[in-house]
Amino acid sequence: MNPHSASGSETESFIPAPGATRGKPVGTGVAIRGTGAYTPEKVLTNDDITHLVDTTDEWIVTRTGIRERRIAAPDETAADMAVRAGARALEKAGLNPADIDLVIVATITPDMPFPSTACLVQDRLGMGPVCAFDVEAACSGFIYITEIATSMLQSGRFHNALVIGTEKLSSILDWNDRSTCVLFGDGAGAAVLSREENGNGDGGRGIIDTRLGADGSASNILYMPGGGCRIPATAASVTAGHHFLKMNGREVFKIAVRIMGQASQDILTDNNLGLGDAALIIPHQANSRIIEMLSERMKLPMDRFHMNLDRLGNTSAASVPLALDEAVEQGKIRPGDYVVLVAFGAGLTWGATLLRW
């Protein structure tokens, strides 16, 4: 991995002129208008998992911070969950499905390889025949689709976008592998993004900036080998466990701390803000120890980091929007606050978004 590629900041850094006073960050003219969340009813506790694999509640809590996670019903799909989260985001945004002209879904557990889950959601929510597609960037998916939607809205050809991260990770977990099955859960989180008619270029509310990155040379530390064209589904591939998520947890952990720290710092400093200017960081909910190390690295107290992984585990592309919606509902984000969304995931991929609420 090239540590310098972690942020893209070498080419895009904001370098104030000598002696210049700190200016306000410049916005994109796009803002989050509403958020929504859905988690399945079934709660699977750590104690429940001790009946499946050789583990303990104490091990899971100490190493990850996770106490329980939600598991979708057998017939409940990523699209089902996305529809519920998306409908809630529309309601909170005060918009109707007919107002949306762009639907982007981030998921690594689509209902089917094709058609896209976004097309299923578009139909089920009763939208018009508008642009709909999926993006696969694993746990960074929501940051990726927020940036894609922001750029498409900025183009002037789209007005209101529904972006959704949704996952049924329980469907790709090996429930005999204690090193992975304890970590993940199911759910969906959504946001409606709109062009701000009056613009937000002068420190107003909205998305300010995003950094995205990827390093495919680390694709072998978190992946699912089967189901694509390299290992299509056969009786042998299923027996060999190729359709389950595989992970080198220790390697992922080390890289996650470094990348999320770098991306969060760069997005703030590149926009001429101090680290302490972030009222709230919404990190990908993978492991409480990763977030604690992020807090040490950024020298920010833990109450500046929103966490819900104790109750939901790691929900991949749904993780950041679920946490964002919860923070909004709990009144932890106030108008005018600077908020950083930051994530990393398989690919490896990573991203950070700076916004003003």
Ligand X SMILES: CC(C)(COP(=O)(O)OP(=O)(O)OC[C@H]1O[C@@H](n2cnc3c(N)ncnc32)[C@H](O)[C@@H]1OP(=O)(O)O)[C@@H](O)C(=O)NCCC(=O)NCCS
Binding site for ligand X (CB under 6 A): 55, 59-60, 63-64, 139, 178-179, 182, 222, 247, 249-250, 252-253, 256, 286-287, 314, 345
- Name the residue nearer to ligand X (CB basis): 6 or 102: 6
CA angle at 80 for the pair 77 and 85, rounded to the nearest 5°: 125
- Name the residue nearer to ligand X (CB basis): 24 or 289: 289
Which residue lies nearest ligand X, judged by its C-beta? 249
Least Å distance between CB 138 and ligand X? 6
- Name the residue nearer to ligand X (CB basis): 29 or 351: 351
Least Å distance between CB 31 and ligand X? 27
CA angle at 173 for the pair 221 and 351, rounded to the nearest 5°: 45
- Name the residue nearer to ligand X (CB basis): 97 or 249: 249
Least Å distance between CB 128 and ligand X? 35
Decide: 175 and 53 in contact? Cβ < 8 Å: yes
**Separation CA 337–CA 306 (nearest Å):** 14
Q: Which of 46, 139, 181, 200 is catalytic?
A: 139
139 is catalytic: yes
Least Å distance between CB 250 and ligand X? 4
Kindly give the interhelix angle for 141-154 and 319-329, rounded to the nearest 10 degrees: 80
Least Å distance between CB 287 and ligand X? 4
Decide: 346 and 108 in contact? Cβ < 8 Å: yes
The end-to-end CA distance of the chain, in Å, is 34
Q: Which tokens hold the place of 354?
A: 């700076």
Least Å distance between CB 290 and ligand X? 6
- Residue 330's CB: how many other CB atoms inside 10 A? 10
314 is catalytic: yes
Decide: 146 and 191 in contact? Cβ < 8 Å: yes
Q: Which of 200, 271, 284, 306 is catalytic?
A: 284
Helices (H), the chain: 9-12, 46-50, 57-64, 78-93, 117-124, 141-154, 178-181, 235-239, 249-269, 288-298, 309-312, 319-329
3-state helix, strand and coil shares in percent for the chain, rounded to the nearest 5: 40, 25, 40
Sign of torsion, CA 95 98 101 107?
Answer: positive
Residues belonging to the active site: 139, 284, 314
